[in-house]
Amino acid sequence: MAQREIIVHVQQMKEKHEAVLATSSTPSSPTPEARPTTLSPIQHLPVEIFREIALYALHPRPRGRVQECPLSLCQTCSTWRTVALSLPELWETLVLLVKRPRTHREQYRTRVLEWFGRAQSRPLTFFLFSESQQFSGDRPFYADLLQDIAAPMAQLDNLEVLEISNPGDYGFNEDSENEDVAIMSTSIFQQAPKLRSVASSNVFRTVIGAMDVLPWSRLTDLHVTESLPIFTWIEIMKLSPLLEVLHLRPHPERHRRRFPLPVHENLREFTVDLIYDEYSIVDIINEFEYPNLRTLRLEHDGCRAGPYPLPPTAFHSFRHLHSLTLNYGYRENPSYIIEILRETPKLRVLELYDVEAYMDTVFESMTLSASSLVPQLSTLRLEAHNDRKAFDPDTLASMIESRCFNLPAGFTPLEEVLVYSYHKWKEGEDTIMVRLSRQMESCQVAGLSFKVFNGNGTNGIPDSFLWTQQSTHTFFEGSNHYRYERW
């Protein structure tokens, strides 16, 4: 039912209700408290309107609490409970927060089966998050938990999206006490024939045998936000030929690269986090050929890019990219960014983090009077942290203007520029952001969408600007979990 029809219907119910009350307003009439409840419009609410209200109130990741929709609707009255239980779209997603795995095992099993049973044949999304660090002897309890959840998982034929997380922070099966910690080859989630999207945190590196849990050959979307050895990542790539979206955090180790490089045909979006600076991130991703790669995000997690990076010419997939994100790591070697841009002739979206004074060299090289880099660039997004080491607004403005007016043949004009400073910068008539905004007025008249966000954290910033912070899988990534708890 369209929104306008719903509003008209509610208004008609309201007028009818007021008319009934007006005709009943005599001295002998019962008090409002004594009137039949059937006079209340809420008792005659059509199922279509109830459904719209329920879906509006439903959190995208419901935790199964009685204070939250959909269980809160079931507590209102028997009619609402019946209707809520009959709407499968209210039960297709569940977040299971496990706090006491050993004392509540049966309750967790029952909750999962009952909840998803109401979803009927709709595709299912399951978030399994552990909040405990308990141990059973030398076995991390998470291995037990995955074994416990195996039974209900075998009955979830429509499971399509899965996120699993463990709070343990120890390394990849490093501790001797964990040498016998293994998940038996029960193929827990391999029995879900429609499972295509998986995110995990602190699972593979803490539980021996975790590689046997997932149906790798069927996955198309994978986010592993934990440090995995290179050989494990390579094995995952081999086992997952259908992957289209991949987010990994490899733990670099020296190894011998194989030639010719194996080809991964389907990967189109690749995000790599590197938490060590003794290796080049380009060296790491150059373990495969990716002929269909279109989006690449290289995140150094605050460290340097490495002393001897592989020449960008060696990574052939740069030439196919439409979108590129470079996050930290290039302060000491901005010329390397320029080399990368030379290899990306089809680039349309460029996102740069940690933009400071060292980036002025890059902006100069992108000015069309000086070069012909990235001729198809239409969107530029910049994140700057520190105004004490800020970029030169005049240099940036000159580059933007050169891409808005009098472009050479074959070049695409800039359509969107976003500049974001996480920490609040100084304000005033002659500050960096004000100067930059003033110089962009003529470009805006020409059609450029230009926006500046100064030091508001993530509040008020459109989703399109939070390019890597709004990943599909964010529930289990540090502060995002606590943000969810406050909702």
**CA distances for 402 relative to 176, 338, 364, 383, angstroms:** 60, 17, 11, 21
Contacting residues for 429 by C-beta, under 8 A, at least 6 apart: none
pLDDT of residue 215: 84
**Of the candidates 164, 168, 117, which has an alpha carbon nearest to the alpha carbon of residue 140?**
168
pLDDT of residue 334: 86
Q: Tokens 């997932």 sit at which residue? A: 214
Both tokens assigned to 472: 């599909």
pLDDT of residue 97: 81
pLDDT of residue 93: 93
Question: Which residue numbers in the chain have pLDDT < 70?
Answer: 1-4, 6, 10, 17, 20-43, 100-105, 131-154, 166-188, 190, 203-210, 252-259, 275-279, 301-308, 328-329, 370, 386-388, 422-430, 455-487
Q: Tokens 């952001």 sit at which residue? A: 433
pTM here?
A: 0.77
Instruction: Please confirm whether the linkage preceding 27 is cis (ω < 30° from 0).
Output: no
pLDDT of residue 368: 87
CA neighbours closer than 13 Å in the CB half-sphere of residue 74: 18
pLDDT of residue 9: 72
Indicate the Cα dihedral angle 391, 396, 398, 403, nearest 10°: 170
Distance, in Å, from the CA atom of 208 to the CA atom of 154, rounded to the nearest integer, reads 21
